[in-house]
Amino acid sequence: AQSVTQLGSHVSVSEGALVLLRCNYSSSVPPYLFWYVQYPNQGLQLLLKYTSAATLVKGINGFEAEFKKSETSFHLTKPSAHMSDAAEYFCAVRTDTGRRALTFGSGTRLQVQP
């Protein structure tokens, strides 16, 4: 069975500091991995995705993530946090090769302090 673990339900950083949100996964099939962002009172928006091409993936709003197979990780980073980055972030892995469903982590709420 596929699963996703996001370490830290809340992360707080100062504006301009590095953002690091952690995601570890387990998957019995070659993983396709995703990061989504949810702003208050909105649905989820895709930040970036890994689908077996380049291991370093760049997304929107300056975010990127690196797929590390040996560590079964897909951590999300941004060099310099902005106040507008405050949101909840979800990591997801494809459930299997047939169902087209995703398994989501429990989410990490990012706070950005001025």
Nearer to another protein, 17 or 104 (CB): 104
CA atoms within 13 A on the CB side of 78: 25
46: which DSSP letter?
Answer: E
100 near another protein, judged by CB under 8 A: yes
Sign of CA dihedral 35, 39, 40, 41: negative
Q: Facing residues of 113 across strands?
A: 14
Question: Is the four-CA dihedral 62, 36, 105, 53 of positive or negative sign?
Answer: negative
Residue number, 36 or 112, with CB nearest to another protein: 36
Letters for 65-94 (x = contact with another protein by CB under 8 A, - = none) are -------------------------x---x
- Binding of another protein by 17 (CB under 8 A): no
Show the tokens assigned to 39. 């702003």
User: Shortest gap between Cβ of 64 and another protein (angstroms)?
Assistant: 17
Is residue 49 part of the contact set for another protein (CB under 8 A)? Answer: yes
Residues in contact with another protein by the rule CB under 8 A = 4, 9, 32, 34, 36, 41-46, 49, 51, 90, 94, 97, 99-107
